[in-house]
Structure 1
Amino acid sequence: MILEVSQQDGRCKKSFSPTKERATLKVVRKSVCTIVLLTITAVTGATGNNRVSVTVGDSSVLTCPLKENTTMLTWTITPKAGGPCTLVCRTDTNMTHRTNCSDNIDWIFRAGLAPALEIQHVGIAQEGNYHCEVASANGNFRMMYHLTVLAPPRLSLFCDERGSPVCEAAAGKPPAQLSWVPESCSRAEEKYHDNGTVTVLSKFTACSTNGTNVTTCMVSHPAGNWSQSIASCPSGEFPLVCFVFRALFMHEATHEWHWWDCSTKCAPELPVRNLLGGGWINTSAVRTVKAFVKL
């Protein structure tokens, strides 16, 4: 048995109908839920969730809701690296308190404007969640921010030992996207660092036989876009050089030192003839005995 509200006189009367009881119970439940939600909304403001991006070294300002008769402001910061930070301001006593917060984080109070938190010279370690709560005579109001810190990569373009252009976007966050003009058929490699940054390395490999004298690397990143060009890299082969020298060599069997009269041909492979034992030795052998050169 439940109480049912009479539509004629507004009084409560008893009802013994199971069907009416179930229907009335649904109405009561909906009414109770509506009342509870309205009460929560009146006491506590809806939580905002905002995403903010800032480049390393720049400053960022995050605001709290502006409410009349505010008694206390609280910032709770949960960075990805390090422990949480808390800042509390009591407006009724004009007292502030901070716990485990960096020196570059502080309040901003301006007449007629919403109270704010300023982060100067933002670092990668300060990426994370920033939660503001305002206590006032009208209830509690909250605002949530997720701060993302961008690190622009350092771009460099050079030739490797094989004569191929190499593009490097170092210590970027998030990883940079690399592309080539003309198009390259190689894939970029990524190296992750402990501070959350990523170095991207790409070696140019031509997709066609139509060569070009200039190769351009283009870098795309949320903090900006850059490009750099380089002329054709020199060939990785040995130059055509002709020279004659003598080299000191220890015989493996007798352990005796001998002078070699060595000569070279004018060819990229630079074969060297051993006049003592005959035959030819390769370039790596030339490098080995080069320390004992005597002209």
Structure 2
Amino acid sequence: MRARNIGVSAAVGDSSVLICPNKSDVIMVTWKINPKTGGHCTLGYRADLNQTNRTNCTENTSWKSRPDHDPTLQIQPVGRASEGNYTCEMAAREGNFHLTYHLTVLVPPKLTAYCDSRGNPVCKAVAGKPAAQIRWVPESNSSPDWEDHGDGTVTVLSTFTGNGTDVNSTTCFVFHPAMRHNKSIACLPKNFTPYTAIIPGFLGTVIFIALIYWFKFRGDRLCHKSKPPETTPTQSSQDDSMEVEPYTTYVQKENVIYSSVEVNLTVQQNLPRGLLPVT
């Protein structure tokens, strides 16, 4: 019997293809699957009966095509429960072949980046398998913290401490067999408080409103200065004299008539009776 052992890996959600030696005149092929969690599973094929059988295998584990043409096994999609040993046993006219795969399932970590309460950049790779590696540019002097979750996954947390390096231009690089990622993080200075951002904004708003009122007040004053003063209509002395003159003339004429009548009466009273005028 010819036996070989091969180590392979696949990320959660991907597809994994395990090849069994392709020999001519195959009599029988059997896949024996022993996952780390869960029960034993077998897939078999007998050429003399052209028959396949399946025992306790999940739907994501099956033949890639027809086993009489290609005895390759396919796992799609790969899950965390897919990790384990996959052994292909083949009987052919050339002899018996035995091939075992040790499948390792990779779990990409969930990445987060933020600034802590002191204004330091923090990079966190949550529940990765294996543990992720974190590097900083520029280089950080701190050591990462590890948290083992007991199921093979590990969370790694790294805080950037650059001894005075400008934290506004730091980049976090995360290395993992299932991925490679980087995040740029810009944090505010350690002495930054929300008031340092609110006060300049408030002062800017006040100055802006004051300028608006100043320009408005200045514009109103210019308008008042340029507007000609209102004048009330005046009556000319000529019109007054024209209105007064008829009344004065009338009064004078009445006075003349009254005076002449009075004189005539006085003269008549002083004349002798024989000299009175005949009326």
* TM-score (normalizing by structure 1): 0.61
What are the superposed Cα offsets for residues 22-68 of structure 1, whole Å, 9 maximum, x if unpaired?
A: xxxxxxxxxxxxxxxxxxxxxx2x21211222121111111111222
Q: Does 1:71 align with 2:27?
A: yes
Q: What SS does the aligned partner of 1:169 have?
A: strand
Give distance in 2, aligned partners of 1:75 and 1:111.
11
Question: Partner of 1:284 in structure 2?
Answer: none
Give distance in 1, aligned partners of 2:174 and 2:195.
37
Question: Partner of 2:85 in structure 1?
Answer: 129
Bigger strand fraction: 1
Matches within 5 A, 1:139-158: 139-158=95-114
Q: What SS does the aligned partner of 1:125 have?
A: helix
Give 1:240 shift.
5.1
Q: Is the 8 A contact 2:45 2:67 kept in 1?
A: no
Give distance in 2, aligned partners of 1:51 and 1:116.
16
Which of 56, 59, 65 is equivalent to 1:109?
65
Ranges in structure 2 where 5+ consecutive residues have no aligned partner: 197-279
Give 1:167 shift.
0.4
RMSD after superposition: 2.2
Question: Partner of 2:176 in structure 1?
Answer: 221
Question: Partner of 2:268 in structure 1?
Answer: none
Q: Is the 8 A contact 2:121 2:167 kept in 1?
A: no
Deviates more, 1:107-116 or 1:172-181: 107-116
The one-letter amino acid of 1:171's match is A
Q: Does 1:119 align with 2:75?
A: yes
Give 1:237 shift.
6.3
Give 1:111 shift.
8.7
Q: What SS does the aligned partner of 1:213 have?
A: helix
Number of aligned residues: 196
Give distance in 1, aligned partners of 2:47 and 2:63.
13
Q: Does 1:174 align with 2:174?
A: no
Question: Partner of 2:208 in structure 1?
Answer: none
Give distance in 1, aligned partners of 2:37 and 2:114.
35
Give 1:216 shift.
0.9
Q: Is the 8 A contact 2:125 2:156 kept in 1?
A: yes
Give 1:194 shift.
4.2
Question: Partner of 2:9 in structure 1?
Answer: 53
Give distance in 1, aligned partners of 2:8 and 2:194.
55
Which of 227, 233, 241 is equivalent to 2:188?
233
Question: Partner of 1:211 in structure 2?
Answer: 166
Give distance in 1, aligned partners of 2:193 and 2:181.
34
The one-letter amino acid of 1:182's match is P
Give distance in 2, aligned partners of 1:222 and 1:233.
33
Q: What SS does the aligned partner of 1:71 have?
A: strand
Structure possessing the higher relative contact order (Cα contacts under 8 Å, 6 or more residues apart): 2
Give distance in 2, aligned partners of 1:150 and 1:185.
29
The one-letter amino acid of 1:213's match is N
What are the superposed Cα offsets for residues 84-129 of structure 1, whole Å, 9 maximum, x if unpaired?
A: 2111222211222222211100013359954110100101221111
Question: Partner of 1:159 in structure 2?
Answer: 115
Bigger helix fraction: 2
Question: If you compute each CA radius of gyration, which structure gives the higher value, 1 or 2?
Answer: 2
- Percent identity reads 53
Give 1:212 shift.
4.4
The one-letter amino acid of 1:126's match is S
Give distance in 1, aligned partners of 2:69 and 2:134.
43
